[in-house]
Structure 1
Amino acid sequence: MTATSLRQPDGMPRQLWAPQTSLYTNLDVSANRHPDKAAILYYGNSLSYGQLRREVEAMAGFLQQHCGVARGERVVLYMQNSPQFVIAFYAILRADAVVVPVNPMNRASELQHIFEDSGAKVAFAGEELMEHVRPLSGRHVDHVVVARYADYLRDQTDLPLPDMLTPAVEPAHASPAAGVIRWNDALSGGFLPSAHASGPEDLAVIPYTSGTTGRPKGCVHTHRSVMHSTVSCAEWPNLPDDSVLLCSVPLFHVTGMQNCMNMPLYIGATMAIMTRWDAQCAALLIERQRVSTWITVPTMVIDLLNLPGIDQFDLSSITYLSGGGAAMPQAVAQQIQDRWRIAYVEGYGLTETMAATHTNPPKHSKPQCMGVPVFNTYSLIVDPDTLVPLGGEILVSGPQVFEGYWNAPEASRDAFATIGGRRYLRTGDLGYVDRDGYFFVVDRLKRMINASGYKVWPAEVEAMLFEHPAIQEACVIATHDRRRGESVKAVIVLRHGACATEQEIVSWARQHMAAYKVPRVITFADSLPRTASGKIQWKQLQEAENQRGGA
């Protein structure tokens, strides 16, 4: 079944014509239309569209003239949610370069791989993350612009603030190392960028996604693919330009990047940015800023609804609530319906598709459902072995689908299948289509753990665990987590004569990998089950865990 065979949801057209320009042009247009309107609200502080564009231009000039960034070169963006993240993202695009967004949970070894693979020599980094950048300075990165998020808190606030918005991590008078420059110094350099030259076919963003084998791979997206997804995010729910969006999910991830940054800048809306998730702060922001739109993950909604004293807050301004990453529990969906008289609109997408390929129609939403293919998007359910359209793996094709993996031609070839003359991305998820044309995910073809919407690939965690001097072998599986849905469990065989406790391995893992990848549960075994050919039988371990009620 394809998207063209589905009825049009809520009277929306099946086709969408996105602007044939660079993504940066969206900011330029909105700044021309609304120069004095608030583009960003940051813990009681405001940044107008006009000021946002001026700072983007100044930073783009710095990238080109001071750092020597040329058209098509990659620039790493390694920050928490902040005004600086938005400015840096659009400054890179304005400089005709390519954004390489990096999860701020990543540590030095993970960061090193991305620098080496992408070839980036320039980076933006949050001040609190510099301890992971310093070991790479000089060898892997030539220029680093360091941002202190608190610099954009010009007015006092009684809102609860995360730790990194309190006193500076480094004293303000400390001299930066060679190649490192403070954000404000870069902005005040007086550099002007050359004329903007990027078009729809130029590269725009290379977000990294973990794979079933080996290290994370970069997903190559052009301005065209990102633009189509951006416009789709706005047109599907038909959001007005006076919308205020709560930006609580990470902006480095395509869900936050598209729904909470690129989309509101496209329509000229206002973003209320949170650097770190805090349910009480979110309730205060919704109440005070009259937030109308919240695209988020189920975990955050559950936290908010369980906040002590939640009934004391006026949250009636919320008119559109949407998200994905994990299915929304039916009981929580009912609470949302009872409180806001709206549905939690679930969607489905991948890093390879720059967010959504399927979304529920706002007025006809089904619970725990992917929805229907969005504008210009085709989707099939096929047998994963024969590719016959009978049932099994979900395939998608549309303008938002990536070009392929950076520096990985074989993986790029394996990611696609051509059926009926159309090129489809193989999602690796198994599902079905109901009689109304709505798609549902039922299982995963690929080996992956879904921890609160964060995708954890066991092979990557195993590869890092093997670096521990006491570990001979490790097999990573999913274990049930009442809050996160799934968490990481490692079954470990220690080297002969080695000694290590569960807590020692967990502490080591926290120093070497992003927090969401760290095994929450560790068990020790004398050996791991293997096939006749010597492959570890991870499915056997996973099934045993499932039978124990662990997943």
Structure 2
Amino acid sequence: METNHFQFWPKRVPYSLTIPETTIYDNLTISAKRYPSKEAIIYYGGTLSYNQLLREVDQQAAFLEKQLHVSPGENVLLFMQNSPQFVIAYYAILRANAVVVPINPMLTSDELSFYVKDCEIKTAVVGQELYDRTEPLLSSTSLTNIVTAAYSYYAGEESEIPAEVALETKQFNKPNHYTWEEAINHELVASKYNRSINDVAVMPYTSGTTGLPKGCIHPNRTVQANAVGACQWMNLTADGNHLVTLPLFHVTGMLHSMHAPIYSGAPMVIMTRWDRNLAAKYIEKYKIANWVNISTMLIDFLSNPNLSNYSLSSLKILAGGGAPLPAAVGEKLYHLTGLRFIEGYGLSETISHTHFNPPDFPKLQCLGVPSFDVDARIIEPTTMKELGVGEIGEIVVNGPQVFDGYYNREDENRNSFLEIEGKRFFRTGDIARYDEEGYFFIIDRVKRMVNASGYKVWPTEVESLLYKHPAVQQACVVGVPDPRRGETIKAFVVLNDNAKGKVTEKEIVEWSKEQMAAYKYPRMVEFMDAFPTTSSGKILWRKLQENEKQKAEGVK
């Protein structure tokens, strides 16, 4: 285990953490006792104190248990956009001694049916606007009960409210259908809370980019490790407001924008839909100190021509992951705010981060250093040989946040772990290297490498170079079939507004020739107005690549 990175460790922060032997739900009860009247949630002008938040959670937990007969350890679907209801339902499911299964609200009914069947789900808490995607599953799966939530219930009087937040409560008047109001306004009382740190709390699913999605089994213990670790690393306190823009169903938003603020007793300013103008307004209005986002979101935020109209001086921490932040964007951020973007790295299997950049010594386009008690190494992915400084291979991790395994996937579990020096390591599938100071740098996904005339080309590296062009707002590089080279490089580019109609694809290609090795530069460039992305903001490079392969095969 390398220890060179300890010289850059945050000051006054221990190298190792003792994880509390309390659960995620316990964190809420403790914060509510400490700060009962303090704002927990701010939502389009509406507010909930920590005392109110805990009351709503306990009320809904009683309803889940007594009215819907949710049993201990049962999987419960949470299918909802960012909202107070998401936070309440999540913690209510935990309080009911059950397991949260948070699912992407962008999924279709057919896609959703896979998760319901995979987890044998009987009860779902659903955003009202997503009801039509859920209702068909009542007749084709194990799904029996649906609680629907209208986000307007907690919203205030602000004018800039998304359409789905403005919807009033709808009564469905069908068997086993319940409104949010029914689920929190009743005289039922939940049984004693009896979960331990080793009981399963949440089961986020992988994105399914390399096969069927897989449920990641996370007990309270693994979630608590990263919730406490995030608070310690970033010096989070009850007095630092958080802007919540990442989707809470995804582990990065879930951990850093919900669990960590609740652990520290801080207010959460929640946005249901991303809006760069409103985000800037909220940073100024609510004196936001902490904002965890993703590089694509930050790029959009910084390209806002109206940004100079707002004060960003309250910001203390800007952090995120998902994809490396281009160096040029990081420099723009620094000149605007004086802040360095604190990049991190993690997966659904590690309930967010295993690596973090030290806040006082961050490196651009860098995963950071291993977090508390994490042993991270680089191996050659076929021979499993451990590699050293500067050598490129697969990241494997051992740490307190590593999940217990995939749900009902014994074959996957056997292939996803290996033993080194008597310790169990998870194979991430990500290709990286580390430098002599112990900082890790992503190269790309194992599956993403392009083989151009026998040369290995990592798309992330090419994208980083493209971001240096002043006209490029976003870039996505893929390998496309080529009869001579096997594969060749194609770059999809979103231009800055002031460059549209002035810069050509050919000019980008010619510029790239001067910036990159001959085997590496993109032979083709295609301009796009926007990229397809996941709801967490990650660019769907695989979709672009598949489209190119279909074109090459003559598929329309």
The two structures share one fold, judged by TM-score above 0.5 = yes
Shift of 1:6: 4.3
Q: Check 1:527–1:40 CA distance in 2 against 1; reply closer, same or farther (3 A cut).
A: closer
Contact (CA 8 Å) 1:105, 1:515: kept in 2 or not? Answer: no
SS at match of 1:446: helix
Q: Check 1:339–1:515 CA distance in 2 against 1; reply closer, same or farther (3 A cut).
A: closer
Contact (CA 8 Å) 1:4, 1:378: kept in 2 or not? Answer: no
Instruction: Describe how 1:7-406 pairs up with structure 2 within 5 A.
Output: 7=7, 9-11=9-11, 12-138=13-139, 139-153=141-155, 155-158=156-159, 160-168=160-168, 172=170, 174-211=171-208, 213-390=210-387, 391=391, 392-406=393-407
Instruction: Write out per-residue CA displacement over residues 151-210 of structure 1, whole angstroms, 9 at most, x where no aligned residue.
Output: 112x3113x221202244xx73x4332211110111112221111100011000000113
Shifted more, 382-391 versus 113-122: the winner is: 382-391
Unaligned runs of 5+ residues in structure 1 are 459-476, 485-508, 530-540, 542-551
Q: Check 1:101–1:303 CA distance in 2 against 1; reply closer, same or farther (3 A cut).
A: same
Counterpart position of 2:503: none
What residue identity is the alignment partner of 1:247? V
Q: Check 1:271–1:523 CA distance in 2 against 1; reply closer, same or farther (3 A cut).
A: same
2:522 corresponds to 1:522: no
Contact (CA 8 Å) 1:3, 1:379: kept in 2 or not? Answer: no
Counterpart position of 2:443: 442
Instruction: Describe how 1:503-514 pairs up with structure 2 within 5 A.
Output: none
Counterpart position of 1:2: 2
Q: Check 1:525–1:447 CA distance in 2 against 1; reply closer, same or farther (3 A cut).
A: closer
Q: Check 1:483–1:254 CA distance in 2 against 1; reply closer, same or farther (3 A cut).
A: farther
Q: Check 1:119–1:483 CA distance in 2 against 1; reply closer, same or farther (3 A cut).
A: farther
Shift of 1:385: 1.2
SS at match of 2:48: strand
1:482 to 484, 493, 500: 493
TM-score normalised by the chain length of structure 2: 0.81
Shift of 1:10: 2.3
What residue identity is the alignment partner of 1:147? A
SS at match of 1:103: coil
Shift of 1:397: 0.6
CA distance in 2, matches of 1:408, 1:3: 34
Q: Check 1:17–1:524 CA distance in 2 against 1; reply closer, same or farther (3 A cut).
A: closer
Contact (CA 8 Å) 1:126, 1:149: kept in 2 or not? Answer: yes
SS at match of 2:447: coil
Shift of 1:523: 5.3
CA distance in 1, matches of 2:44, 2:66: 33
Shift of 1:483: 5.0
Q: Check 1:427–1:278 CA distance in 2 against 1; reply closer, same or farther (3 A cut).
A: same
CA distance in 1, matches of 2:307, 2:408: 49
Contact (CA 8 Å) 1:40, 1:48: kept in 2 or not? Answer: yes
SS at match of 1:218: coil
What residue identity is the alignment partner of 1:242? D
CA distance in 2, matches of 1:263, 1:193: 26
CA distance in 2, matches of 1:48, 1:30: 11
Q: Check 1:8–1:331 CA distance in 2 against 1; reply closer, same or farther (3 A cut).
A: closer
SS at match of 2:183: helix
What residue identity is the alignment partner of 2:293? T
Q: Using the aligned pairs only, state the percent identity.
A: 41
Contact (CA 8 Å) 2:5, 2:369: kept in 1 or not? Answer: no
What residue identity is the alignment partner of 1:407? N
Q: Check 1:524–1:321 CA distance in 2 against 1; reply closer, same or farther (3 A cut).
A: closer
Instruction: Write out per-residue CA displacement over residues 437-462 of structure 1, whole angstroms, 9 at most, x where no aligned residue.
Output: 100111221359999xxxx9x9xxxx
Shift of 1:137: 1.4
Contact (CA 8 Å) 2:277, 2:306: kept in 1 or not? Answer: no
CA distance in 2, matches of 1:182, 1:479: 49
Q: Please, what is the CA RMSD of the aligned residues?
A: 2.7
Instruction: Write out per-residue CA displacement over residues 411-460 of structure 1, whole angstroms, 9 at most, x where no aligned residue.
Output: 01111110111110101111111011100111221359999xxxx9x9xx
CA distance in 1, matches of 2:350, 2:3: 16
Q: Check 1:245–1:413 CA distance in 2 against 1; reply closer, same or farther (3 A cut).
A: same
Counterpart position of 2:467: none
Shift of 1:215: 1.6
Q: Check 1:410–1:162 CA distance in 2 against 1; reply closer, same or farther (3 A cut).
A: same
Q: Check 1:222–1:299 CA distance in 2 against 1; reply closer, same or farther (3 A cut).
A: same
Q: Check 1:480–1:97 CA distance in 2 against 1; reply closer, same or farther (3 A cut).
A: farther
What residue identity is the alignment partner of 1:142? T
Shift of 1:307: 1.5
Instruction: Write out per-residue CA displacement over residues 340-379 of structure 1, whole angstroms, 9 at most, x where no aligned residue.
Output: 1110000000000000000000000000000000001110
TM-score normalised by the chain length of structure 1: 0.82
Contact (CA 8 Å) 1:8, 1:14: kept in 2 or not? Answer: no
Contact (CA 8 Å) 2:38, 2:50: kept in 1 or not? Answer: yes
CA distance in 1, matches of 2:308, 2:394: 43
CA distance in 2, matches of 1:224, 1:268: 20
Shift of 1:233: 1.0
Contact (CA 8 Å) 1:18, 1:231: kept in 2 or not? Answer: yes
SS at match of 1:522: helix
Shift of 1:286: 0.7
Instruction: Write out per-residue CA displacement over residues 62-86 of structure 1, whole angstroms, 9 at most, x where no aligned residue.
Output: 0000111111100010000000000
Shifted more, 31-40 versus 188-197: the winner is: 188-197
CA distance in 2, matches of 1:478, 1:268: 48
- Return the structure number with greater relative CO, CA threshold 8 A, min gap 6: 1
